[in-house]
């Protein structure tokens, strides 16, 4: 795998960003137009395939970011429309995905999406997502540090981070 480095993480964790960084063997005059296709297909431990587009990250650096949703060994293979660029096209590898060590609500259920044909949002693991929020667009800019601390304390006390929803579901 000449020219490839994987993000500096020991193992991937479910629903956390996993980054593949590639170093092209050539510099493109206009990378966005010169490279029509750059992606990787990830095959999960259960055999489900997901293709994720990559992007030019400046100079000769290209990246593909992926959120694995299963634990176990994943297999990936890259594809580039410039078949002569062997540092982008035809690379492959594996990585181990484990459960996150942090059991915080944000890491426990995965991303939020709208299930097809439903009238509600869900987390990746099927847990219903109840959207509760407030907006303080310029709160951090226009408040004192003391005011902003009070505001954030109120949000935490009223379970705006989602942990209260989980607690209510268990009760």
pLDDT digits (tens, 9 = 90+) for 9-49: 557 888 888 999 999 999 999 998 999 999 999 999 999 99
pTM of this prediction exceeds 0.75? no
> Which tokens in the block code for residue 55?
């992007």
Cβ 49 vs Cβ 55: under 8 Å: no
Convert the pLDDT of each residue in 66-111 to its tens digit.
999 899 999 999 999 999 999 999 999 999 999 888 777 667 787 7
CA distance 41 to 45: 13
DSSP 98: E
DSSP 47: S
CA distance 59 to 81: 18
CATH code given to domain 4-98: 2.60.40.10
- In sequence order, which residues have a C-beta less than 8 Å from that of residue 163 and are 6 or more positions away? 104, 105
Please list the residue range(s) of the chain that carry CATH number 2.60.40.10: 4-98
Q: Count Cβ neighbours within 10 Å for each residue of 111-136 and write b for 16 or more, e otherwise.
A: eeeeeeeeeeebbeeebebeeeeeee
């Amino acid at each position: 795998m000449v020219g490839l480095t994987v993000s500096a993480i020991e193992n991937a964790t479910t629903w956390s960003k996993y980054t593949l960084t590639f170093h092209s063997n050539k510099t493109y005059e206009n990378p966005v137009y010169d490279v029509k296709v750059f992606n990787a297909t990830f095959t999960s431990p259960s055999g489900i395939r997901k293709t994720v587009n990559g992007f030019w990250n400046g100079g000769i650096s290209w990246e593909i970011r992926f959120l694995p949703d299963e634990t176990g060994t994943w297999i990936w293979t890259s594809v580039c429309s410039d078949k002569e660029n062997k540092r982008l096209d035809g690379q492959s590898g594996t990585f181990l995905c484990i459960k996150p060590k942090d059991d915080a609500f944000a890491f426990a259920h995965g991303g939020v999406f709208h299930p097809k044909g439903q009238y509600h949002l869900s987390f990746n693991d099927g847990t219903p997502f109840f959207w509760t929020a407030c907006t303080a667009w310029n709160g951090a800019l226009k408040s004192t540090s003391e005011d902003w601390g009070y505001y954030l304390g109120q949000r935490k006390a009223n379970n705006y981070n989602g942990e209260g929803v989980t607690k209510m579901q268990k009760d």
